[in-house]
Amino acid sequence: MLLKISIAFLLFVSTVTTNAQDLKWIPFKWAGDSVSGKYFDKLGINIPVKINNIPANFNMQFDLGAVRTVIYGNSIKPYLDVCPDLKNKIDTSKKFLIQGKINPMFTNMNLKMSTTSFKDINVGYFENFGSKINQDSILTNSEKHIGTIGPDIFQNKILIIDYPKNRISVCQELPKQYKLATFQPFRNDDGRIKVPLLINGETQYLLFDTGSSIFTLTTSKEHALKTANAKVVDSLTVTSWGKEITFYGVKTNKPIKFGNKVLNGSLIYFDEKETFGDFYKSANIWGLTGNVFFLKNTVIIDYKNKLFGVL
């Protein structure tokens, strides 16, 4: 009997290992910087990317709080000048809205992240945005920050974010070991997902935004002060799409949970000007949450079945 059990156990371990190895992992890098005089080593997530057949190294911010994947106009401009095939992919008949302005699209683009390719996709061309790249350095080995990876390219797939190992994976079927995660249904209106968190004993839906790497969560001042001690224990001034906003942090009265899991953090942030107040209301969300709550976990976003998992 012991032999049979041991063999069964070994077969199980072998299957789990095989499933893990079958995944194609895409490594990511944390970008660090100072905000309000404080240094954050995990300010944003950048993923190395190859674009079409351009012999240059790029990276893009991994931002599930954005609506779509975009390439920054100022940054890509010198490549348009030397790569006519890329310039010809700009289609002014296909448009998208960002920051209140209409922009055209790149069509039939190929993005490659490590060994994972996203082929023949449409990518936003965000005109007059991003840092300019010197013409003399466009083909050097250094990575150039070129845009944002949004949730649009992951729809109808399963996205795994392994925070402890700094990597993501995209698959169609979830390996067995990840099925052990705690799962909750999420809401998905425009590609961006809204996850249920238990806050002050009540279920609230928050936009999950991997572009937010400083705050545990942000919400309106009214919601924050109903849930936390009124004493401000932190403040941070950040730049969001070119605008400076000061957020104030207050400590929650009760742990914040996802299902039965207590999450990593206890501060709720708000800004006095209620910059995002109209957005919270129109999106029908309590607030935004990002990477901080989940840095010790692996997150599974099953876009196919609208399930959010935390392992």
Q: In tens digits, what is the pLDDT along the chain, a chain of 311 residues?
A: 444 444 443 433 433 433 555 899 999 999 988 887 788 888 899 999 999 989 899 999 999 999 899 999 999 999 998 888 999 999 999 999 988 899 999 999 999 999 999 999 999 999 999 999 888 888 788 899 999 999 999 999 999 999 999 999 999 999 999 999 999 999 987 889 999 999 888 899 999 999 877 888 899 988 988 888 888 888 888 876 667 888 999 998 888 889 888 887 788 898 888 888 888 888 899 999 989 889 999 999 999 999 999 99
Buried b (16+ CB within 10 A) or exposed e, 120-136: ebbbbbbbebbeebeee
Closest CA to 247 of 276, 278, 227: 276
Looking at 1.10.3470, 2.60.40, 2.60.120, 2.40.70, the CATH number of the domain 25-154 comes to 2.40.70
Please name the fold of domain 158-310.
Cathepsin D, subunit A; domain 1 (2.40.70)
Give domain limits for the chain: 25-154, 158-310
How far apart are alpha carbons 178 and 182 in whole angstroms?
Answer: 9
Length of the chain, in residues = 311
Full-model pTM = 0.88
**So what's the pLDDT on residue 87?**
93
How far apart are alpha carbons 55 and 154 in whole angstroms?
Answer: 25
Using CA atoms in the order 209, 51, 99, 134, what is the torsion angle rounded to 10 degrees? 120
The two domains 25-154 and 158-310 share their CATH topology (first three levels equal): yes
Contact 70, 139 (CB under 8 A): no
Token digits of residue 126? 């965000």
**So what's the pLDDT on residue 239?**
74
